[in-house]
Amino acid sequence: MTGPPLVGVDLDAALDRAVALAGRGPARDRNPRVGCLLLAPDGSIVAEGHHGGVGTPHAEATALAAAGPSARGTTAVVTLEPCSHHGRTPPCAEALVAAGVAQVVYAVADPTHAGGGAALLEAAGVGVREHRHTASERLVADWARAAALGRPHVTWKVASTLDGRVAAADGTSRWITSPQARAEAHRVRTQVAAVVVGTGTALADDPSLTARDHRDRLLPDQPLRVVVGHRDLPASSRLAGPDAGDATTTEGEVLHLRTHDPVQVLAALRERGVHSVLLEGGPTLAAAFWRAGLVDELLVHLAPALLGAGPGAVPDLGIGTIADAARLELVEVDRLGPDLQLRLRPIPPEELH
Ligand SMILES: NC(=O)c1ccc[n+]([C@@H]2O[C@H](COP(=O)([O-])OP(=O)(O)OC[C@H]3O[C@@H](n4cnc5c(N)ncnc54)[C@H](OP(=O)(O)O)[C@@H]3O)[C@@H](O)[C@H]2O)c1
């Protein structure tokens, strides 16, 4: 920190406020949600700003515009390191310098090419401090992970019996797991930007893919619902009808991607600002993602039940001998009523030997 000391400033409280401001931005966007405060030396708020999504001014620019000449000598408190690149909007680090801001405190370093704002600010004589703040980290975690991957993060979720069946011989799969496991599955849907299934699952199960509570009421955070495959869904399908396409409802938008290519699916979703995907099967689509190396994590709800027949979690993966088995690392185990929840990470073949 090279600027004057931050007297009387509660940085955690300021960042809490900045996170609340950031939350006004769109939940699904190519850009991260960011909030910014400009504080006077006594800690009072001179101006506030948040980012409203791609193509709109960044949080710092909004706050600077609101402050006008009063920005001079303030401390900017931002949830994310100010950008330093010329993109759709001018670099925030330069704007902060030009406005005469004395110090900048940010919670999360920018891991992308847009980063480097801190160095630019310091070189211009602005005091810079990184102050870790959990809520700010959480705010951009999915975006940062997707930025590192160059695509949305994919969790493949599967509910299976002990013998690895995901449906019975007649195609029925409701319900393999307990109400407790299903409640957790609904909670997990609120944590991701999109839930994806193949047309096979949409036609067999007619799922709504919404996140609901135990009384079947919609939870506040609804994911984008995505169906992948060429076939049309009947008008009576919960995932078809006038909302299919890009209408927004309280249930969340529905998108039908008529492709078999998982790379295209993820590119289309990223374009829509999706940074995290819950792939809910079925086996054919999940296998396509697996073969393409596009599964980052598995969430398995394992029921103490046997079916003996019916589709397995994945069809043939082309593995002929035990030495070639796809291996996973068990990261976490939890009990959900009578069922187990396993969180697993695929082990890349090069890490196996
Ligand atoms: N227990 C569980 O966790 C769980 C979860 C989901 C489903 N299920 C069960 O799984 C069964 C449905 O299995 P499924 O394998 O048919 O479902 P699916 O994987 O959801 O759908 C398969 C269909 O998706 C399309 N598709 C999209 N990408 C593809 C690709 N890369 N390669 C081939 N096809 C692609 C094809 O249809 P088009 O001809 O339309 O292109 C294909 O027939 C049902 O019995 C359901 O209950 C169980």
Task: Please check whether residue 80 is in contact with residue 49, taking contact to mean a CB–CB distance below 8 angstroms.
Answer: no
Instruction: Work out which ligand 1 atom sits closest to the CA atom of 286.
Output: 19
Q: Is the pLDDT of residue 246 over 50?
A: no
Of the pLDDT bands very low, low, confident and very high (cuts 50, 70, 90), residue 247 is very low
Residue nearest to atom 35 of ligand 1 (CA): 260
Whether residue 188 has pLDDT greater than 60: yes
Q: How far is residue 60's CA from residue 176's CA, in Å, rounded to a whole number? A: 50
Atom of ligand 1 nearest to the CA of 197: 20
Please tell me the predicted confidence (pLDDT) of residue 112: 83
What's the gap in Å between 177 CA and the centre of ligand 1? 19
Over range 1-23, report the average pLDDT.
81
* Cα-to-centroid distance, 193 and ligand 1 (Å): 21
Peptide bond into 290 cis (omega under 30): no
Looking at every residue in the chain, the average pLDDT score rounds to 92
- Phi (first) and psi of residue 189, to 5 degrees: -60, -30
Residue 129 parent element (H or E): strand 127-130
Ligand 1 pocket, residue 173 CB under 6 Å: yes
Evaluate if residue 123 carries a pLDDT over 90.
yes
Q: Which residues are catalytic?
A: 60
- Per residue in 43-58, pLDDT (tens digit) is 999 999 999 999 899 9
Using most ligand atoms within 8 A of CB, pick from 260, 280, 289, 314 the residue to mutate for ligand 1.
Answer: 260
Nearest C-alpha neighbor of 115 from the set 147, 83, 76: 83
Domain residue limits, the chain: 11-145, 151-351
CATH superfamily, domain 11-145, is: Cytidine Deaminase, domain 2 (3.40.140.10)
pLDDT over 90 (residue 16) = yes
Exposed, middle or buried: residue 340 (CB in 10 Å: 0-12, 13-18, 19+)? middle
pLDDT tens column, 144-175: 999 999 999 999 999 999 999 999 999 999 99
Lowest-confidence segment of 85-94, 158-167, 187-196, 254-263 by average pLDDT: 85-94
CA-CA distance, 164 to 283, in Å (whole number)?
11
Taking the C-alpha atoms of residue 257 and residue 268, their distance in angstroms, rounded to an integer, is: 8
Residues 6+ apart with CB under 8 A from 153: 142, 145, 146, 275, 276, 277, 296, 297
315 lines ligand 1 (CB under 6 A): no
Q: Which pLDDT does position 6 carry in this prediction?
A: 65
pLDDT band at 89 (very low <50, low <70, confident <90, very high): confident
Tell me the pLDDT tens digit for each residue of 190-241.
999 999 999 999 999 999 999 999 899 999 889 999 999 999 999 999 998 5
Dist CA 212 CA 336 (whole Å): 17
**Ligand 1 in contact with 285 (CB < 6 A)?**
yes
The per-residue pLDDT for 90 is 77
Position with higher pLDDT, 250 vs 39: 39
Q: Which residue type, as a one-letter code, is found at position 334? A: D
Separation of alpha carbons 182 and 214, rounded Å: 9
Nearest residue CA, atom 45 of ligand 1?
Answer: 171
Given a contact cutoff of 8 angstroms between Cβ atoms, the answer to whether 25 and 53 are in contact is yes
Q: How far is the CA of 188 from the centre of ligand 1 (A)?
A: 21
Q: How far apart are CA 32 and CA 80, in angstroms?
A: 9
Assign domain 151-351 to a CATH class.
Answer: alpha beta
Three-state secondary structure string covering 252-284: CCEEEECCCCHHHHHHHHHHCCCCEEEECCCHH
Q: Residue 92: phi, psi to the nearest 5?
A: -70, -35
Which ligand 1 atom sits nearest the alpha carbon of residue 283?
Answer: 15
To test the pocket of ligand 1, the residue of 284, 317, 339, 342 to mutate (highest count of ligand atoms within 8 Å of its CB) is 284
pLDDT in tens, 273-297: 999 999 999 999 999 999 999 999 9
- What would the mean pLDDT of 78-85 be, rounded to a whole number? 93
Rounded CA-CA distance 184/173 in Å is 17
H or E element: which one contains 341? strand 339-346
| Nearest-angstrom CA–CA distance, 101 and 71 | 6
Binding site membership of 229 for ligand 1 (Cβ less than 6 Å): yes
